[in-house]
Amino acid sequence: MKWRIRVAHEEDIPTILDLCYQLSVYEKIEFKGTEELYRRYGFSEEKIFDCLLAENTGDVGPPFLGVALYYYTFSTFESKPTLWLEDLFVPEEYRGNGVGTSLLKELCRVAVKRDCGRFEWTVLDWNEPSRQFYFSLGAVAMDGWTTFRMMPEAFRRLAES
């Protein structure tokens, strides 16, 4: 199996949607993605995320073997950007071949180029294969931190109060 990691382009939106949908099924999370939303937030003047694709360059398998969707936040403590990995997905039948590692290596190169102080992401507690994969690459779990989330109903209510 051979592949190359490349930056996604607007014409890749259907592929990005498909891979992110597959991830949502695996993680048992409702998927609300549309081409319009991905175009707006990934490929327009309102762009807020970047995306890498693992493109199959071999003779067997689908055209794309994985996706990594990411963006930047800012660490006040480090006083540097943080590369935040929102989603990394390689279909199960292609895992264990180095595709995920290649995507993460390229993300690390991006983080170095952008002078990031951190590279962070979350993983579901039950997703032990992914947790072990990340540990094997030198990542550490952030013990003592809890991720909080406000859904639109809650943040609209607070905004209007």
Place of tokens 């590692």: 101
Q: Is 41:69 a contact under the CB 8 Å cutoff?
A: no
Q: Show the DSSP H helices in 1-127 as ranges.
A: 13-27, 35-42, 99-113
Sheet order of strands, 80-89 included: 3-7, 50-56, 64-75, 80-89, 118-121
How far apart are alpha carbons 44 and 36 in whole angstroms? 11
Q: Is 23:66 a contact under the CB 8 Å cutoff?
A: no
* Nearest-10 crossing angle of helices 35-42, 13-27: 110
How far apart are alpha carbons 86 and 71 in whole angstroms? 7
134 noted as active-site residue: yes
Catalytic residues, which ones? 134
